[in-house]
């Protein structure tokens, strides 16, 4: 078994190191492992079959629809309305635009289910405003990058759908509900950290909005906010499944963007094309990751990992801490989707034996891997945030470091206090 692990890990690491895309690295490393260590099965045929069967899931249909809904929101004027509403509420506070960025990113990320879309849409609007009013470009980029990841925890979230598939069918509705409090807690913690920076830089207060202005911006943003109620309310109440909810989200956002008159046929074509490209990348990642999960299972690697971890300790919190550390390392060089699909079947059986709720672990895993989206060398949200702010990763790293610490503290709180993630699913159970 040691030889299989070595072949898999070394091949995958070398391919990543020479710049081969993650999906291809996963697929090629699986083929090499099978050729060199599993003589009884045809490598190419088996990997192709596992890739095909890995995508044969009704739940996965929700992902392309949520991606399309997020793209429509990104181009349909929704981000600007959410920013205006957030600014009318707290824009009068000292350093108010930083708080606005966090709240708008949380709202947009939750509605779109995409951290990249939130970083691009909110950052693209906020960066020029913040620079015009004298805010640090680097700190603005740092707060935009970290707050955008909250949308992957606050539902609807494609990553939770992927985790449900990898875990063998954990309730998507329960996972969605479990993400609310941890996601909001992360946003509040980032705002608290921003308060220290605001006081240090002595940013001035903004203009106070009138009740009429607040009401007007709320009414303007209300149709966008209503999407959360429609999608999550429908799933939790059992009116429709997550897949059906994703279709409704597309229809709703398309109608909304037409009402806002910010979507024409040319832009709609570009949105569909971009969504197809994104979906193809995600689908390839899922397919190759499922083939790697099968290779790991065939070689009994999850069972071996369980034995190693349980030989260290039988305390679930110690094991959770070890797994968190491992996932933090994994998140720095692997995208969320393959990481969830590959490592869930390895770690979840150990934690189940120790009495950890699969829903709780799903939230912990997603929050953990969100940190990787903000770190080099492959942090997609970091690159987007730096790009829209027109700065460099080197300059953004200094203000990012304390925000990493904040994210780690919240992650530990959610890890060691399961009630934070399990209270809402238990309340609606």
DSSP characters over 383-413: HHHHHHHT--HHHHHHHHHHHHHHHHHHHHH
3-class DSSP state of 33? helix
3-class DSSP state of 94? strand
Q: Residue 102: how many CA atoms within 13 Å on its side-chain side?
A: 25
Angle at 99 between CA 98 and CA 104, to 5 degrees: 100
What pTM does this model have? Answer: 0.85
- Show the tokens assigned to 125: 């609007």
Residue with the two structure tokens 């759908």:
161
Q: Which residues contact 15 (CB under 8 A, 6 or more apart)?
A: 24, 25, 28, 29
Q: Rounded to whole angstroms, how far apart are CA atoms 390 and 383? A: 10
User: Alpha-carbon dihedral of residues 168, 171, 172, 178, nearest 10 degrees?
Assistant: -120
Q: Which residues contact 403 (CB under 8 A, 6 or more apart)?
A: 142, 143, 146, 190, 193, 374
pLDDT in tens, the chain (429 residues): 566 677 777 888 888 888 788 788 888 888 888 887 766 667 778 888 888 887 877 778 888 888 888 778 777 777 778 778 887 887 677 877 888 888 888 887 777 777 877 788 788 777 887 777 777 888 888 898 899 888 889 888 888 988 998 888 888 889 999 999 999 999 999 999 888 888 877 777 767 778 888 888 888 888 888 887 888 788 877 888 878 888 888 888 888 888 877 777 778 888 888 888 888 888 888 888 888 888 877 777 777 777 888 888 888 999 999 999 999 988 887 888 888 888 898 899 889 889 999 999 999 999 999 998 888 877 778 888 888 888 888 888 888 999 999 999 999 999 999 999 999 988 876
- Show the tokens assigned to 166: 């990898």
């Amino acid at each position: 078994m040691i030889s299989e692990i070595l072949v898999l890990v070394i091949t995958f690491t070398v391919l990543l190191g020479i710049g081969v895309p993650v999906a291809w690295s996963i697929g090629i490393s699986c083929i090499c492992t099978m050729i060199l260590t599993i003589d009884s099965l045809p490598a190419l045929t088996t990997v192709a079959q596992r890739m095909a069967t890995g995508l044969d899931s009704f739940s996965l249909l929700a992902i392309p629809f949520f991606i399309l809904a997020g793209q429509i929101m990104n181009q349909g004027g929704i981000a600007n309305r959410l920013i205006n509403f957030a600014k009318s509420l707290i824009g009068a506070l000292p350093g108010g635009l930083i708080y606005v960025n966090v709240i708008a990113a949380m709202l947009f990320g939750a509605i779109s289910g995409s951290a990249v879309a939130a970083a691009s849409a909110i950052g693209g609007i906020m960066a020029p405003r913040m620079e015009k009013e004298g805010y640090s470009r680097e700190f603005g980029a740092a707060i935009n990058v970290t707050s955008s990841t909250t949308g992957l925890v606050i539902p609807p979230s494609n990553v939770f759908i992927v985790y449900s598939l990898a875990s063998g069918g954990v309730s998507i509705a329960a996972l969605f509900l479990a993400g609310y409090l941890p996601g909001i807690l992360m946003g509040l913690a980032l705002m608290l950290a921003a308060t220290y920076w605001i006081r240090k830089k002595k940013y001035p207060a903004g203009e106070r909005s009138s009740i009429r202005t607040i009401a007007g911006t709320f009414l303007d943003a209300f149709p966008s906010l209503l999407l959360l109620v429609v999608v999550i309310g429908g799933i939790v109440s059992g009116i429709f499944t997550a897949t059906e909810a994703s279709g409704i989200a597309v229809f709703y956002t398309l109608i909304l963007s037409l009402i806002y008159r910010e979507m024409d046929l040319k832009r709609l074509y570009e949105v569909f094309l971009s969504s197809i490209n994104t979906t193809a990348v995600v689908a390839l990642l899922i397919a190759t990751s499922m083939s790697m999960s099968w290779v790991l299972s065939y070689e009994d690697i999850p069972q071996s990992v369980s034995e190693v971890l349980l030989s260290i300790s039988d305390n679930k919190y110690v094991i959770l801490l070890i797994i968190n550390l491992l996932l933090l390392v994994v998140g720095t060089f692997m995208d969320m989707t393959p990481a969830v699909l590959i490592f869930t079947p390895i770690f979840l059986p150990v934690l189940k034996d120790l009495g950890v709720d699969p829903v709780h672990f799903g939230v912990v895993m997603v929050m953990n891997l969100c940190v990787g989206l903000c770190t080099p060398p492959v942090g997609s949200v970091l690159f987007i945030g730096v790009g829209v702010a027109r700065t460099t990763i080197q300059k953004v790293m200094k203000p990012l470091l304390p925000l990493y610490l904040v994210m780690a503290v919240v992650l530990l709180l959610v890890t060691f206090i399961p009630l934070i993630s399990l209270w809402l699913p238990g309340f609606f159970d």
